[in-house]
Chains A and B, each alone.
Chain A
Amino acid sequence: MNCKIRLTVNGTARAVEIPTYRTLLDCLRYDLGLTGSKEGCGVGVCGACTVLLDGKMISSCIALAVSANGHEVTTVEGLAGDERLHPVQQAFIDAGGFQCGICTPGQVVSAKALLDAIPNPTDAEIREWMLGNLCRCTGYYKIIESIRAAAERSRA
């Protein structure tokens, strides 16, 4: 029971034929070769699979690819401009906002969405927005620092 779907992924129109049961995450990773988004918990809790669907962050591991037909998807691969990292990505490097990096694609996608929605978030707003992105390495302190720094950088 295959189906043809069209997605705009990181600004590029893509058409792909997939089984109806393909999750958006598996479609991105295995049908489109974008392995930046990861599967962690597989139940929408950990946030390693976070992507933006029409600009809103979702868990691609519990979204069906066919349900995204005709929509716009932004993944971690779509954040950086040519040659330049997104300010959020740079801030995670400078402040040590990651260690093993498996949750990092989801973290930076969520943080980017946060700063798009709230350019100058309070710590409370950071904690509420990032609640759904688990990190086992950092204990979150340096993730908060990274997002603060990114906000300052984009203000400057």
Chain B
Amino acid sequence: MAHRIIGKPIGRVDGIEKVSGAACYSGDVSVPGLIWGKALRSPLPHARIARIDVTRARALPGVLAVLTAKDLPRILVGRRMFDMPLLARDRVRFIGEKVAVVAAADPDVAEEATTLIDVEYEDLPAVIDPEAAIAAGSPVVHDNPGAYDGAPAERPHPNVQSVLRFKLGDVEAGFREAARTFEHTFRTQLAHQGYLEPHAGVVTIDEDGRVQVWASNKMPFRLKELLSHALQLPQEKIRVNLTPIGGDFGGKGSLMDLPLAYHLVRVTGRPVKMVMRYAEELMAGNPRHPSVITLRTGVSRDGTIVARSVRALFNSGAYAAFKPAPSVSLGGASMGAGVYRIPNLLIEAFCVYTNNIPCGHARSPGEPQMVFAEESHMDMIAGELSLDPAEFRRRNLLRDGDHLANGHHLEHVRASDTLEAALKASDYSQPKPGPWIGRGMAMTHRHIGVGFTNAVVRLETDGRVTLRIALPDTGTGAHLVLRQVVAEVLGVAVDDVAIDLATTDDFATDSGVGGSRVTHTGGRAAYHAAEKLKAQIQAEAAKLGVPAEALAEIARAAAREGRTLEVSHFYDAKAHGAVTSFTAQVAEVAVDPQTGQVTVRRFTTTHDVGTVINPIGHQGQIEGGLIQGLGFALMEEIKTEEGRISTLSLGDVKLPTIQDIPPLTTVILEDPVGPGPFNAKAIGEGSISAVAPAIANAVADACGARIRDLPISAEKVYFALKQKEGRR
């Protein structure tokens, strides 16, 4: 069906404040009397706090408050599992854990004061490696994790946070059927989400005694709940005000420093701002989990996968607090099954406590790790079977009626179309342009998120429309998408639909942003609200005997009777139709045999999507995720030495630059079967996960070096080549 506005390449008219510098992020919020909070962090990975002396810090001119754990209630916080103190009490568990916090009018004075706090530590044995952490007799990071609120019951070792399992069929029986079995182990690195806005927040208590919060947090209502618990205040005493968020990529859903800011407000009576330095983000943010993943696959004579077992160890660091899923694990583990029909499957994922930085969610949590392992494994098996990697995949791709690892039954499966389109667009079967050049492919799929969102649509007396929502703008263009949906339904222009950003006072709840959810939940809420308003408008028009297009006239007529034409809709999607979105990607790389340096010569990404609402924003999501995947594949890594982060700036941890991006071909297979408005699906997490394995497979194709641990640095390729050729 032809749309007027849906599918049209409308520019980012939602971002005029962003290009003009007027957009007010949480770090830009200013309220009269504002002061600054700065944290002192632990220099040791595991130690008992014997003594803290803050007298010299308190004495520094300009210092308004210094707080340690003994000044705070014994509250543990978290997003799902509540195991993290506001400030370390008795014991520190990672380098970078907060042990004290200072308030001063001048941020540099506050920072200076933190250096005047004397802390006496008694070292405790630290455990850094996740495999060592779950060995018998290893140091225990938490004495009794089972006692924490939200802690999963199953705990094979005190350092295990959670065990996540996916089962299909009978895996032992499956392996007995197999003609050959293959087992490979892979590792992925510690990596930051890379948002350029460090966590920032402003907290104040207004004249009515209510706590006002501005924070870089994408789930305002969940934040209000978590704050209510952390601050021991009823929810109605807290208001979260929405601000634009300077990059989320999964990382902006926690409390971070907000409870400390509140306690500083409480003791100083002044509004408090806390902004993390980027060095603090790198030592104490909530980065992507490093992983150790072993896959074992049984294959029949004709190259059909009959069984697979997967064991994933996620190094979760010192606290589970940053993981939001009820499983206290990473859903991406289910990608151990790849995009393949595997009758007998067992996936087990263990999140493990160590004395490292606590990890959290990052764009498609757990998937880039698991898809790297799984899709590299697929190519290695194809090689052993002397099958073309594409052909091996063809023989095992999911089809209609198949089940995912989580038991989800699938329809509209376009795995095969997506793969073939990628192969064609990338000239996969054409001769390679030269030596040391290789091509590699990888596939993945991503579900469409669920959740619940409120929307209020109001017809103004000037004939324009206001859409009231409480979804923060994380940059994806969701606000523009929602305006397009409302404009389409009501037959007005996008410019005639304005967003009125609500606060947590204005709705009962909302699941917020994340998990490839917003176009679906926000879009449907806006869509149904707009449909209701349209019906009202038509009724009013009939009453007045004017055409339904005479919006201003209709609104004014209602206004004269003291009525506003306003409707609301609460959309709650607990699940949706059995559709997912497939991705197939092909990398063409050149390897420099003298240095091992990998250059991506061209990259092809193919996506099976629903109705595209805004092609510019849709393509932007693909390109952004893809380059994050490229960084994860080739250069991004937070390095540690005995638990201490040794790369504490973006001069050392490198993110891809404008000179590091490859020529890109994008193929979109549009198939309007999604649960979103106008049958949209999701795109935000579709392009990141397959990049690393596509490149790893291309590197192996180019030079025979198989890199099993990310990132694929020139050095790893160089020494792999050297070993392979027995060079001395």
For A67-102 the 0/1 string (1 means CB < 8 A from B) is 000000001110110000100011011111111111
Knowing that A35-B21, A101-B23 are A-B contacts, what are 11 other residue pairs whose CB atoms are under 8 Å apart, sorted by A's residue number?
A40-B196, A43-B651, A46-B196, A48-B196, A76-B19, A93-B19, A99-B477, A100-B475, A101-B475, A134-B196, A140-B623
Min CB distance, B75 to chain A, in Å? 30
B116 on the A face (CB < 8 A): no
**Bound-state Cα–Cα, A140 to B23, Å:** 21
**In the complex, what residue of chain A is closest to B622 when comparing beta carbons?**
A139
Interface residue A7 (Cβ < 8 Å from any Cβ of B): no
Known contacts A77-B21, A99-B624, A144-B658: does B30 contact A38 (CB below 8 Å)?
Answer: no
Interface size in chain A (residues, C-beta < 8 A): 59
Given A134-B650, A142-B620, A100 and B247 contact (CB-CB distance below 8 Å): yes
Contact between B20 and A85, CB atoms less than 8 A apart: yes
Closest CB of chain A to B317's CB: distance in Å?
22
User: A138 an interface residue at 8 Å Cβ cutoff?
Assistant: yes
B674 at the binding interface (Cβ < 8 Å): no
- B626 and A139 contact, CB distance less than 8 A: yes
Q: In the bound complex, do residue B628 and residue A98 qualify as a contact, i.e. CB atoms below 8 Å apart?
A: no
Q: Given that A40-B278, A93-B11, A139-B624 are known contacts, is A102 also in contact with B19, CB under 8 Å in the complex?
A: no
A143 is an interface residue with CB less than 8 A from chain B: yes
Which residues from chain B contact A99 at a C-beta distance below 8 Å?
Answer: 12, 475-477, 620, 624
List B residues at the A interface (Cβ < 8 Å): 11-13, 15-25, 27-28, 30, 106-108, 193-198, 244-249, 275, 277-279, 474-477, 616-617, 619-620, 623-628, 649-651, 655-659, 661, 664
Contact B27 A100 (CB under 8 A): no
The interface residues of chain B lying within 8 Å CB-to-CB of A89 are: 19-20
- Known A36-B20, A134-B196; contact A100-B12, beta-carbon cutoff 8 A: no
**Contact partners of B655 in chain A: CB under 8 A:** 134, 136
Whole-angstrom distance from the CB of B690 to the nearest CB of chain A? 15
Closest to B628 in A: A136
* Docked complex Cα distance between A42 and B281 (Å): 12
A93 close to B13 (CB less than 8 A):
yes
Distance, CA A130 to CA B657, complexed state (A): 9
Is residue A108 within 8 Å, beta carbon to beta carbon, of the partner chain? yes
Judging by beta carbons under 8 Å apart, are B659 and A98 in contact?
Answer: no
Residues B18 and A101 in contact, CB atoms below 8 Å apart: yes
Q: Which of A43, A95, A100, A141 touches B11 (beta carbons < 8 Å)?
A: A95
Partner of B659, one of A76, A104, A131: A131
Instruction: Scan A35-68; emit 1 where CB is below 8 A from any B CB, else 0.
Output: 1111111110110100000000000000000000
Q: Is the CB of B620 within 8 A of A138?
A: yes
Residue A21 contacts which of B12, B30, B108, B624 (CB distance < 8 angstroms)? Answer: B108
Report whether B21 and A138 are in contact in the complex, using a CB–CB cutoff of 8 Å: no
Task: Name the one of A41, A95, A104, A137 contacting B616, with C-beta atoms under 8 angstroms.
Answer: A95
Inter-subunit contact B12/A96 (CB<8 Å): yes
In the complex, are the beta carbons of B12 and A136 less than 8 A apart?
no
User: Number of A-B pairs whose CB atoms are under 8 Å?
Assistant: 178
Check if A37 sits within 8 Å of B627, measured CB to CB.
no
Pick from A34, A137, A140: contact of B658, CB under 8 Å = A140
A58 to chain B, nearest CB (A): 17
B620 touching A127 by the CB < 8 A rule? no
22 pairs from A and B in contact (CB 8 Å cutoff): A35-B30, A38-B25, A41-B649, A41-B650, A45-B650, A75-B21, A76-B20, A92-B15, A95-B11, A98-B18, A99-B12, A99-B475, A100-B246, A100-B247, A100-B475, A102-B197, A105-B21, A126-B658, A134-B655, A134-B657, A140-B661, A141-B664
Contact B21–A36 (Cβ < 8 Å):
yes
* Least CB separation from B621: chain A residue: A99
State which of B106, B246, B279, B627 has its C-beta within 8 Å of the C-beta of A101.
Answer: B246
Contact of B19 among A26, A75, A85 (CB under 8 A): A85
Measured CB to CB, the nearest residue on chain B to A100 is B475
Take A46-B650, A100-B247, A137-B624 as given contacts and tell me if A108 and B19 are in contact as well, using a CB distance cutoff of 8 Å.
yes
Q: Are A100 and B30 in contact (CB under 8 A)?
A: no
Is there a chain B Cβ closer than 8 Å to A103's Cβ?
A: yes
Select A19's contact among B106, B278, B474, B626, beta carbons within 8 Å: B106
Q: Are A141 and B661 in contact (CB under 8 A)?
A: yes
- Asked whether, in the complex, the Cβ of B659 is within 8 Å of the Cβ of A100, the reply is no
Tell me if A96 and B475 are in contact (CB < 8 A).
Answer: no
